[in-house]
């Protein structure tokens, strides 16, 4: 992808499992997501409250980014995946998806995520603050 191509950000509740899985694998998140478990991927997409995509505005409308969110649209939003195609990394697509999520959620909703170690610098450059007192129960499978 070259920088002169226009990118369209949109809510896309009908994102297919095939496209979602492909982008997870290509982006590097495939090693941390259940890409081999189609029913689980389907549930992840179906249960998401907001799925945002970034597509190249040209024939084929190639998917180059996705943000999958769980939210109440009133208080908080957990951004579970932010996946960017390798061909689009470094072009502002991730920041564009973060900005689109914030625009659609509005200023009263907090955006929360857990970063993979390799992406911490990206989120800091995007203006997100680290939260020191965060807790979780890990998945058992």
Q: Is the pTM of this model over 0.75?
A: yes
Instruction: Give domain status of residue 115, yes or no.
Output: yes
In tens digits, the chain (141 residues) has pLDDT values of 344 579 999 999 999 999 999 999 999 999 999 999 999 999 999 999 999 999 998 888 999 999 999 999 999 999 999 999 999 988 999 999 999 999 999 999 999 999 888 889 999 999 999 998 888 898 888
Instruction: Give domain status of residue 95, yes or no.
Output: yes
Looking at residue 5, its pLDDT comes to 73
Tokens of 13: 């509740």
Tokens of 110: 């907090």
Full 3-state SS string of 42-94? HHHHHHCCEEEEEEECCCCCCEEEEEEEEECCCCEEEEEEEEECHHHCCCCHH
For position 63, which CATH number holds?
3.40.630.30
Looking at residue 101, its pLDDT comes to 98
| Tally of domains within the chain | 1
CA distances from 131 to 59, 82, 112, 118, 135 (A): 41, 18, 9, 17, 10
Instruction: Give domain status of residue 130, yes or no.
Output: no
d(CA 114, CA 126): 14
Residue range of the domain that includes 68: 7-125
Looking at residue 59, its pLDDT comes to 85
Instruction: Give domain status of residue 131, yes or no.
Output: no
Looking at residue 4, its pLDDT comes to 58
């Amino acid at each position: 992808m070259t920088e002169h191509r226009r990118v369209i950000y949109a809510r896309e509740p009908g994102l297919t499992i095939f496209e979602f899985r492909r982008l997870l694998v290509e982006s590097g998140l495939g090693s941390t997501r259940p890409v081999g478990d189609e029913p689980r991927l389907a549930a992840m997409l179906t249960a998401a409250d907001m799925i945002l995509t970034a597509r190249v505005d040209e024939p084929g409308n190639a998917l180059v980014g996705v943000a999958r969110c769980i939210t109440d649209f009133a208080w908080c939003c957990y951004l579970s995946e932010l996946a960017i195609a390798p061909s689009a990394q470094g072009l502002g697509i991730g920041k564009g998806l973060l900005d689109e999520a914030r625009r659609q959620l509005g200023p009263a909703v907090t955006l929360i995520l857990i970063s993979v170690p390799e992406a911490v610098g990206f989120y800091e450059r995007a203006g997100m603050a680290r939260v020191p007192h965060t807790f979780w129960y890990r998945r058992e499978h």
